[in-house]
């Protein structure tokens, strides 16, 4: 099967071929050259030169020129030959790296279930990555004895392995993907959010292997949420978001706390709680373990929306507080102008996170990704401390790509893996060009001579 | 003498072309022209009596019929069927322009080959000794004038090998051929007669041949297209012998073309006849038998008596 990486150039070649066709039809050409022994008795008739032919005078030259135009377009189109593909396939991507060792039985069970429940009637293919070698297709019965890798695998590596394995090891035309993985921040790569759709341009059904850390959080004392003093805004949305997260441990939220209210909150953080501050901080609270050095000026004007590390964007024209991250603080989110918007810093046994805008404003609470923001703030220090914590909701959504097509046409991906035809097409185009030059220089060889 | 037999008279050149060998072509043409035992249509000094003619000053007194003088008291000379053995040369134009096909089925050269083959056949049967010469890039003698068995074969073979090419002068060829004849003879020129100088040199050469007593017959072979009798359409035309001179014209709408060509040939014909030569104009779309028959019979009717 021949595919084109840039089909627009093929169309351009066809359009270019129209040029010689038009020129050959509309060009005024002198009439045929014919012998006539009594030509000396003729008188010149200049009108003879004005006759326009209704048929192309030089079909051979015209065909050569059309061929050259088409070949030129095909040369730029990146034509490749790939093996024929057909049918719909279901690929189960399995993380077989050292990360999966502790929960390998769970991973295998999930993978087998995914293979059996797959949407494709034509069968499923299991692709394992994180091995010492490249990602490859494995049979389900191999899973028990599979020699897993000794290093951690990144999520980006998994997606790259998925793409390579599908292109080289399967013959499906369309593919749906299920991913059995323990999605942790440790496996997350910088820039994965923007690259996600480039690495795999389709939706992925992520079957998350339960995280031990998440289990620990879920098994906490259920202290629930303590919402501190607020400076306006609706805290109902915050409570709804935390409920959606399924309980988040001892997280304390406070919006624009006064100097007096801030001191006990910091004490709670030192005692092990996670304190999430937002809005305006008192100017006198520039030190004392806060992750943000507050400025003295009034809040800045709108700086656009927020962008989380997972690539999720929220809100528009948010009013930003002045200030800058304290030394050692981890930036959790930025405004659209790339200035820090949320930071986190450990304090004692706990953590203090700060959002440089109001957390309860409708610009954020109305956004469907609001829980992801809340979770990012609440887990800020966990990520900061490089603990093997699970991905937050936003990162998971980025990984899943719910807005992408469920089935991906593999032919277009495989085009870059096929046999490139460009050099041959260029060579052929050059031969046509030489033929065109030769025919043009030889004049009009088809004219009658007798 | 019956000149035609009804069917072969109508055979066009393209049918003759399919017959293949020139020998067969010649026999086919002559069969259509001659029927039964035939004699040379030329009257002369043979042994067989033909008719009487009134004595004219200069006639050979040995041919006076004294018995008739005794009966009629008037002088008559006796004319005999010429046993011929006349030396003749068929001079075929093989210049580049003779390769022109035009709207006919065969080229002018091919038509000339047919005609020369038929004439050779007729002349040999009449006791003449035809030879063959051609001129294109140069004058070439292919077959000397003879009358013996197998000569026709040699002559037809040489005819068959003629191909068009080059540019030649009919006048020069006639001068050279006339010089090659050891005695008075007959020279038949088959050409399109398109001369560079308008035919003046040709007329001069013909005049010189006639002055030494040779019989000269000029057979002009042309196609209807180059005579302007058919519409050739719009094109850039060139003379095959002068390919660099191109004239863009519409052959059907150039009213003066036909007149100019006709005037050229009329002038040439008049000049030839003034010098005592015979001119025959043929086109390649004319059936050969018909053309040959008409010409030979007309010659026979006005053949000057040789004494």
User: What pLDDT is attached to residue A234?
Assistant: 60
User: What pLDDT is attached to residue B4?
Assistant: 36
d(CA B143, CA B134): 10
Cβ partners under 8 Å of residue A227, min gap 6: A235, A238, A239, A252, A253, A254
Distance from CA of B196 to the nearest CA of A (A): 10
CB contact under 8 A, A450 and B257: no
Going by C-alpha positions, the residue among A107, A106, A146, A112 that lies closest to residue A126 is: A112
User: What pLDDT is attached to residue B11?
Assistant: 47
User: What pLDDT is attached to residue B13?
Assistant: 58
Would you write out chain A's pLDDT as a tens digit for each of its 450 residues? 777 878 899 999 999 999 888 888 776 666 778 899 999 898 887 766 655 556 676 788 889 999 999 999 999 988 888 777 777 888 899 988 877 666 777 888 888 888 887 665 556 888 888 887 888 888 877 877 777 777 778 899 899 888 888 877 667 888 889 999 888 878 888 778 888 888 899 999 998 887 554 433 333 333 334 444 344 456 677 777 776 665 545 678 888 888 888 888 888 888 888 888 888 887 766 557 788 887 766 666 667 788 887 778 887 777 888 788 888 888 888 888 878 889 888 888 888 899 988 888 888 888 888 888 888 888 777 655 455 667 777 788 888 998 898 888 887 777 666 788 899 999 999 999 999 999 888 765 444 343
Cβ partners under 8 Å of residue B49, min gap 6: B78, B79, B80, B81
CB A194 within 8 Å of CB A311: yes
Q: What residues of A are in contact with residue B248 (Cβ under 8 Å)? A: 30-31, 44-46, 48-49
What ipTM does this complex have?
A: 0.76
User: What pLDDT is attached to residue B205?
Assistant: 94
- Beta strand B278-283 pairing with B87-93: unpaired
A50 in contact with chain B, both atoms CB, cutoff 8 A: no
SS3 of residue A110 by DSSP: helix
Kindly report, residue by residue over A275-285, the tens digit of the pLDDT: 888 888 877 66
Which residues share a beta bridge with B281? B220
Query: To probe the interface with A, which of B93, B235, B267 has the most A CB atoms within 10 Å?
Result: B235
Residue with tokens 């109902």: A236
Kindly report, residue by residue over B158-213, the tens digit of the pLDDT: 998 999 998 888 999 999 998 888 778 889 999 999 988 888 999 999 999 999 88
d(CA A371, CA A374): 5
CB contact under 8 A, B235 and A48: yes
d(CA B151, CA B129): 9
d(CA A187, CA A15): 49
Going by C-alpha positions, the residue among A261, A213, A223, A235 that lies closest to residue A374 is: A235
* Cβ neighbours, 10 Å, residue B259: 13
User: What pLDDT is attached to residue A50?
Assistant: 57
CB B238 within 8 Å of CB A39: yes
Kindly report, residue by residue over B249-306, the tens digit of the pLDDT: 888 777 789 999 999 999 999 999 999 998 989 898 888 777 777 667 666 655 544 4
Q: How far is CA A242 from CA A97, A238, A256, A352, in A?
A: 32, 6, 20, 18
User: What pLDDT is attached to residue A287?
Assistant: 59
User: What pLDDT is attached to residue A224?
Assistant: 36
CB A400 within 8 Å of CB A369: no
User: What pLDDT is attached to residue A434?
Assistant: 94
Both tokens of A27, joined, read 């060009």
Both tokens of B45, joined, read 């000094």
- Beta strand A124-129 pairing with A136-138: antiparallel
SS3 of residue A61 by DSSP: helix
Q: How far is CA B35 from CA B27, B59, B85, B228, in A?
A: 12, 34, 22, 36
Q: What angle, rounded to 10 degrees, do the helices at B22-33 and B151-160 form?
A: 120
Q: Which residues make up the CATH 3.40.50.410 domain(s) of chain B? A: 8-39+84-301
Q: How far is CA A281 from CA A125, A155, A320, B118, in A?
A: 54, 37, 12, 127
CB contact under 8 A, A39 and B100: no
d(CA A131, CA A150): 8
Cβ partners under 8 Å of residue A352, min gap 6: A266, A269, A274, A275, A276, A277, A289, A290, A291, A344, A345, A346, A381
CB contact under 8 A, A48 and B254: no
d(CA B138, CA A27): 44
CB contact under 8 A, A31 and B261: no
Distance from CA of A49 to the nearest CA of B (A): 7
Q: What residues of A are in contact with residue B235 (Cβ under 8 Å)? A: 31-34, 48
pLDDT band at B27 (very low <50, low <70, confident <90, very high): low
DSSP code for A390: B
Chain B residues whose C-beta sits inside 8 Å of any chain A C-beta = 97, 99-101, 107, 192, 194, 222, 225-228, 232, 234-242, 245-251, 253-254, 256-257, 260-261, 264
Q: How many CB pairs under 8 A join A and B?
A: 97
Average pLDDT over residues B89-118: 90
Q: What residues of A are in contact with residue B225 (Cβ under 8 Å)? A: 36
Average pLDDT over residues B83-96: 84
CB contact under 8 A, A45 and B99: no
Both tokens of A78, joined, read 């990146």
- Protein fold of B8-39+84-301: Rossmann fold (3.40.50)
Q: Which residue of A has its CA nearest to B222?
A: A37
CB contact under 8 A, A35 and B260: no
Q: Which residue of A has its CA nearest to B197?
A: A40
Going by C-alpha positions, the residue among A376, A377, A346, A379 that lies closest to residue A255 is: A377
Distance from CA of A435 to the nearest CA of B (A): 27
Nearest CB among B239, B256, B260 relative to A37 is that of B239
Q: What residues of B are in contact with residue A57 (Cβ under 8 Å)? A: none
Q: Which residue of B has its CA nearest to A36?
A: B239
Query: To probe the interface with A, which of B229, B238, B252, B267 has the most A CB atoms within 10 Å?
Result: B238
**pLDDT surpasses 70 at B33:** no
A44 in contact with chain B, both atoms CB, cutoff 8 A: yes
User: What pLDDT is attached to residue A446?
Assistant: 44
Both tokens of A35, joined, read 């012998």
pLDDT band at B10 (very low <50, low <70, confident <90, very high): very low
A47 in contact with chain B, both atoms CB, cutoff 8 A: yes
Domains of chain A, each with CATH number or no CATH: 2-82+420-441 (no CATH), 88-211+402-413 (3.40.50.410), 214-387 (3.40.50)
Q: What residues of A are in contact with residue B224 (Cβ under 8 Å)? A: none
Q: Which residue of A has its CA nearest to B265?
A: A38
CB contact under 8 A, B100 and A49: no
Both tokens of B96, joined, read 């580049």
Kindly report, residue by residue over A66-104, the tens digit of the pLDDT: 999 999 999 998 888 877 777 788 889 998 887 766 677
């Amino acid at each position: 099967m021949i595919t084109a990486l840039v089909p627009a150039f093929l169309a351009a070649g066809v359009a270019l071929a129209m040029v010689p066709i038009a020129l050959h039809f509309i060009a005024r050409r002198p009439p045929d050259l014919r012998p006539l022994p009594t030509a000396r008795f003729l008188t010149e008739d200049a009108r003879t030169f004005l006759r326009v032919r209704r048929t192309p005078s030089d079909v051979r030259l015209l065909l050569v020129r059309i061929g050259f135009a088409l070949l030129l377009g095909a040369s730029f189109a990146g034509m490749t030959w790939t093996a024929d593909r057909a049918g719909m396939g279901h690929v189960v991507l399995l993380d077989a790296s050292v990360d999966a060792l502790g929960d390998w039985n769970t991973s295998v069970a999930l993978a087998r279930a995914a293979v059996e429940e797959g949407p494709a009637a034509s069968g499923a293919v299991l692709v394992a990555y994180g091995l010492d070698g490249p990602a490859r297709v494995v049979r389900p019965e191999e899973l028990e004895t599979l020699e897993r890798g000794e290093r951690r695998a990144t999520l980006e590596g998994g997606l790259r392995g998925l793409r390579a394995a599908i292109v080289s090891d399967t013959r499906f035309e369309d593919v749906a993907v299920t991913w059995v993985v323990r999605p942790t921040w440790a496996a997350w790569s910088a820039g994965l959010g923007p690259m996600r759709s480039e690495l795999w341009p389709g939706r992925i059904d992520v079957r998350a292997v339960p995280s031990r850390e998440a289990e620990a959080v879920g098994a906490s004392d259920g202290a629930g949420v303590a919402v501190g003093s607020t400076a306006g805004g609706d805290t109902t949305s915050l409570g709804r978001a935390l409920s959606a997260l399924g309980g988040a441990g001892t997280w304390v939220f406070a919006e624009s706390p006064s100097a007096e209210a801030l001191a006990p909150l910091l004490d709670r953080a030192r005692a092990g709680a996670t304190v999430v501050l937002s809005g305006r901080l008192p100017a006198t609270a520039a030190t004392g373990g806060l992750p943000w050095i507050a400025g003295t000026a009034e809040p800045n004007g709108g700086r656009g929306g927020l962008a989380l590390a997972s690539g999720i964007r929220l809100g528009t024209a948010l009013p930003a507080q002045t200030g800058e991250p304290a030394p050692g603080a981890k930036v959790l989110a930025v405004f659209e102008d790339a200035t820090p918007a949320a930071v986190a810093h450990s304090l004692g046994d706990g953590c203090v996170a700060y959002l440089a805008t109001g957390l309860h404003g409708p610009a954020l609470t109305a956004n469907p990704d609001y829980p992801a923001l809340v979770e990012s703030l609440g887990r800020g220090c966990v990520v900061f401390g490089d603990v093997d914590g699970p991905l937050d909701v936003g990162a998971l959504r980025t990984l899943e790509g719910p807005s992408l097509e469920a089935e991906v046409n593999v032919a277009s991906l495989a085009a870059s893996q096929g046999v490139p035809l460009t050099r041959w097409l260029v060579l052929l185009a050059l031969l046509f060009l030489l033929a065109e030059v030769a025919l043009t220089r030889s004049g009009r060889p088809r004219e009658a001579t007798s | 003498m019956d000149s035609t037999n009804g069917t072969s008279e109508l055979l066009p050149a393209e049918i003759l072309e399919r017959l293949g060998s020139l020998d067969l072509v010649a026999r086919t043409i002559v069969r259509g022209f001659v029927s039964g035992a035939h004699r040379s249509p030329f009257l002369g000094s043979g042994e067989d009596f033909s008719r009487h003619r009134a004595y004219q000053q200069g006639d050979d007194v040995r041919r006076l019929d004294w018995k008739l003088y005794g009966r009629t008291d008037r002088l008559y000379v006796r004319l005999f069927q010429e046993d011929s053995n006349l030396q003749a040369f068929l001079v075929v134009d093989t210049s580049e322009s003779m390769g022109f096909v035009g709207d006919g089925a065969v080229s002018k050269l091919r038509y000339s080959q047919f005609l020369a083959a038929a004439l050779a056949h007729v002349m040999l049967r009449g006791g003449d000794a035809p030879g063959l010469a051609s001129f294109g890039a140069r004058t070439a003698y292919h077959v000397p004038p003879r009358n013996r068995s197998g000569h026709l074969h040699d002559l037809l073979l040489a005819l068959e090998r003629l191909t068009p090419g080059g540019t030649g002068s009919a006048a020069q060829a006639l001068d050279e051929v006339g010089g090659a004849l050891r005695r008075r003879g007959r020279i038949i020129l088959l050409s399109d007669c398109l001369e560079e100088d308008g035919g003046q040199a040709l007329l001069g050469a013909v005049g010189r041949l006639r002055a030494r007593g040779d019989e000269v017959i000029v057979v002009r072979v042309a196609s209807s297209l180059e005579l302007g009798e058919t519409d050739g359409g719009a094109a850039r035309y060139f003379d095959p012998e002068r390919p660099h001179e191109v004239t863009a014209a519409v052959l059907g709408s150039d009213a003066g073309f036909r007149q100019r060509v006709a005037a050229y040939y009329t002038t040439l014909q008049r000049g030839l006849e003034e010098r005592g030569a015979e001119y025959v104009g043929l086109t390649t779309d004319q059936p050969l038998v018909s053309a040959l028959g008409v010409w030979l019979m007309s010659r026979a009717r006005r053949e000057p008596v040789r004494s």
